Amino acid sequence: MSQDLPPVAPSVTAELVEALPPRLRRRLDAGVAKLAARPAVREGDTVRIAVDDETDVVLHAPGGTVTGADAIRCGCLLAPDCLHRAAAASAAPVADDTPAPEPAEAGEAGEAGEDRKEEGQPEETEATATAGQRTAARAVFDAAAAVLEAGTDGAGAVLQAELLRAAHAARLAGLPRACAAAVSVVTGVRAARSADPGYRLADLAAALTGVLGTAHRLPHATGPDLAELRGTARQPYRPDGSLRLYGLFCEPVLTATGYAGAVTWTADADGRLYTVSDVAPGGPARATGAADLAVRIGDTALTHRELSRAGLAVSGATVSPTGRLGAGAGVRAVRASGAAWRGEPLDRLWAVPAAEQVDRALNGGQDLLFLEVTVTGTVRETAGDCLLADCAGLPLRLAAAHDDPALPCRDNLRLLAAAGGSRLRIIARLVPGPLPRALLLAAEHPTDPAARVDLGLDRLQHADLPAGAVAPRSPAVPAGNRDATAPLHLLRRRVHQAVSGGRRVLAFTGSGSGDGARLRRLGLTTAADLLDGLHTAAADRSRDAFGRLLPADTGRFARAWLAAAVYLDTVERALCAGAWEAAASAAPSPDTGRPVGAEP
């Protein structure tokens, strides 16, 4: 996947790949690799790729997105039925398959439409899914199951296009959640196949779990469950009167689908969180530059970076269910004074116990954590060093929110590690797992508690550290921490192996031999049964009367894999909540100085 190319709508990629004859489909993956290695030149809304000295592929992307098959043109003799057009679409990021935003909302990448429904979307008042929705959900499940069957190594451009076609059909049937989940899987597969440094196997496994789970449950869902599984094409915005907001921090946005920008987080006097975003097609340069663009609310001249330290008075506000502020014509906003993190009213955000914040995040609420920690050093992990901190007696790992070298997240993390012993207030995003872990987003300045640092945008210097600060050595992961996750990793590694290698890696004789027995000895009987079922489904290949292998039952294997993945997610969330609650119960009582619940 090449970030130099503009995002292409899923329906366009599916149409171009479907039009290829079988002999060209077999060569499509090689064509994608060749085209991705060629230089791309952008001229306004047009991107030109030089296939060779005489042939160019041109992508016309008005508004930053390719929305029609005729917007991709090729100068070769076989055009328009050539391989190059399909290869260009398959090499580009996948665009959000929704109509273009209104001009007044273009800065929010089509995500801030107010009380509008997409044309052609059915009214979602039915108690059960319609026949068209059930058909679309089955198509998404079958296409995602085929990707899982092949794994990232075998899921080439043709299988990706099948999933994109199913995603487009799901959107037309009024299933935007299934559509978005399918697109995220294709994005993850392309990142894996292109060796994108931002690719994470765990993220792709979670995306596959989401799309398979949604498509599997939807045909049988009713009532509120059905509405949730259908999802919404656009966030509904409701009037919220007048608001007095205080800036908290600003974070960069950089997605694998080709969108970038900034989101500024604010809070009102009651602690409710609101966001102001500016996200559009772009790359790392836009992610860093958007922070210095004016906030698109009312006539205020505040930039996102300034708003994160200042305040905002809004009248006629419109707000989405997730707290995003609308930018409608009736909204008025002016600059107001901000507040320090340790002053009122923001101080109350850090007064909520950590365990309560984690419980809120695990149950579908806001996933931001407001914590006070003491920096203790770093710990080495496979994906890089993590900052170690003590949070009320709980060893907490703080990882970088972004790995892109254009953003200062990881460099800032290394410098903060040198401020060992410093007690800081931080804002982080919860990462569910058996060990307390979060992504570090913002922190107090190491030497000036009145200042704050947006770790994805501001760049710390050695001069910002306490005198004599030296970065500590990075120890390996302690053995006790590895042992704490050992039982579940026996199942998790098989689930992840299937994502990368497909069904065949679990079908080998002796694959995972003994893991089920070990899980049972450790008391994880359900995990053992799911692991055995996964291996059985992978190895199940029937033969016809002549002894020839029949096609594998991809649906059975996908359901067995989905059951194991959902079990892992559920258990890890329970372990995550338990780890934070254990820390809360072990924290010293302010009255006695002993752990809460301890005997006198």
In contact, 284 and 254? CB cutoff 8 Å = yes
Task: Look at residue 126 in the predicted model and tell me its pLDDT.
Answer: 65
**Nearest-CA neighbor of 360 among 408, 430, 428?**
430
Cis peptide before 345 (omega within 30 of 0): yes
pLDDT band at 584 (very low <50, low <70, confident <90, very high): low
Identity at 61, one-letter amino acid code = A
CA-CA-CA-CA torsion sign (293, 298, 300, 302) = negative
Report residue 380 as tokens. Answer: 């080495």
Q: Decide the pairing of beta strands 384-391 and 368-381.
A: antiparallel
In contact, 23 and 218? CB cutoff 8 Å = no
DSSP code at position 127: S
Residue 430 clears pLDDT 60, i.e. is over it? yes
- What's the mean pLDDT in 405-424? 88
280 versus 589: the higher-pLDDT residue is 280
User: In angstroms, rounded to a whole number, what is the distance separating the alpha carbons of residues 237 and 223?
Assistant: 22
How far is the CA of 52 from the CAs of 75, 89, 223, 384, in angstroms? Answer: 11, 18, 56, 39
In contact, 558 and 550? CB cutoff 8 Å = no
**Nearest-CA neighbor of 268 among 311, 318, 328?**
311
pLDDT band at 453 (very low <50, low <70, confident <90, very high): very high
User: In angstroms, rounded to a whole number, what is the distance separating the alpha carbons of residues 167 and 178?
Assistant: 7
For residue 300, what are the contacts with CB-CB under 8 A and spacing of at least 6?
A: 294, 312, 333, 334, 335
How far is the CA of 104 from the CAs of 111, 326, 567, in angstroms? Answer: 12, 11, 44
User: In angstroms, rounded to a whole number, what is the distance separating the alpha carbons of residues 547 and 289?
Assistant: 63
DSSP code at position 247: E
Q: Where are the alpha helices (DSSP H) in 465-514?
A: 479-501, 504-507
Residue 202 clears pLDDT 80, i.e. is over it? yes
- What's the mean pLDDT in 59-67? 87
User: In angstroms, rounded to a whole number, what is the distance separating the alpha carbons of residues 295 and 278?
Assistant: 8
Residues β-bridged to residue 588: 595
Instruction: Please give the angle made by the CA atoms of 13, 56 and 10, to the nearest 5 degrees.
Output: 10
pLDDT digits (tens, 9 = 90+) for 320-358: 888 898 887 788 888 999 999 999 999 999 999 998 999
Specify the pTM. Answer: 0.80
pLDDT digits (tens, 9 = 90+) for 520-559: 888 889 999 999 999 989 888 777 777 777 777 888 999 9
How far is the CA of 244 from the CAs of 241, 275, 323, 370, in angstroms? Answer: 10, 13, 14, 20
- What's the mean pLDDT in 95-110? 43
Task: Report helix, strand or coil for 368.
Answer: strand
For residue 548, what are the contacts with CB-CB under 8 A and spacing of at least 6?
A: none
- What's the mean pLDDT in 405-433? 89
Task: Look at residue 402 in the predicted model and tell me its pLDDT.
Answer: 87
- What's the mean pLDDT in 377-392? 82
Task: Look at residue 219 in the predicted model and tell me its pLDDT.
Answer: 93
Cis peptide before 80 (omega within 30 of 0): yes
Task: Look at residue 322 in the predicted model and tell me its pLDDT.
Answer: 85
For residue 118, what are the contacts with CB-CB under 8 A and spacing of at least 6?
A: 98, 99, 176, 233, 234
* 519-542 b/e (C-beta count within 10 Å ≥ 16 → b): bbeeebeebbbbbbbbbebbbeee
- What's the mean pLDDT in 179-208? 89
For residue 478, what are the contacts with CB-CB under 8 A and spacing of at least 6?
A: 379
Phi, psi of 164, deg, nearest 5: -65, -35
How far is the CA of 102 from the CAs of 98, 107, 404, in angstroms? Answer: 12, 10, 31
In contact, 234 and 111? CB cutoff 8 Å = yes
Task: Look at residue 510 in the predicted model and tell me its pLDDT.
Answer: 57
Residue 105 clears pLDDT 70, i.e. is over it? no
